[in-house]
Structure 1
């Protein structure tokens, strides 16, 4: 099961999303984490923190879980 993370905009960048999930404390930590480890976005490895995530995109972060982007109406 995925943990829902709600956004109020059309999209969110991967770096902002990881920070919003409260997994890492700072933007610098997010940047280093994505460069070194990366995450799975819709089943594909991603290292770019600027990657845009949209409604229903699934982000899997090793050791933290699986998250789905939900847009607030």
Structure 2
């Protein structure tokens, strides 16, 4: 599982999707979240502003899981 390091205590889901390369832009991240294909720690997430902390795991559709580091 790939780990993406952050320099802050948390990162918002939409920002993390862009940082990890799972979304091309903020608009793309929003669309993925609204379509219900984004999971955080095994739960479908519908809030772009969801705060992610180190240890959280994000999955987009059939992509490999990515962990917040």
Q: Is the structural similarity TM-score above 0.5?
A: yes
- How many residue pairs align between the two structures? 69
* Alignment partner, residue 62 of structure 1: 61
* Alignment partner, residue 18 of structure 1: 17
Tell me, what secondary structure is at the counterpart of 1:68?
strand
Supply the distance in 2 between the matched residues of 1:62 and 1:44 (Cα, whole angstroms): 12
Q: Which has the larger radius of gyration?
A: 1
Supply the distance in 2 between the matched residues of 1:38 and 1:48 (Cα, whole angstroms): 12
Instruction: Judge conservation of contact 1:38–1:47 (CA < 8 Å) in 2.
Output: no
Q: Which runs of 5+ in 1 are unaligned?
A: none
- Flag the structure with higher strand content: 1
Structure 1-normalised TM-score? Answer: 0.86
Counterparts of 1:1-73 in structure 2, within 5 Å, are 2-70=1-69
Q: Which runs of 5+ in 2 are unaligned?
A: none
TM superposition outliers: structure 1 runs of 4+ over 2 Å = none
Tell me, what secondary structure is at the counterpart of 1:22?
coil
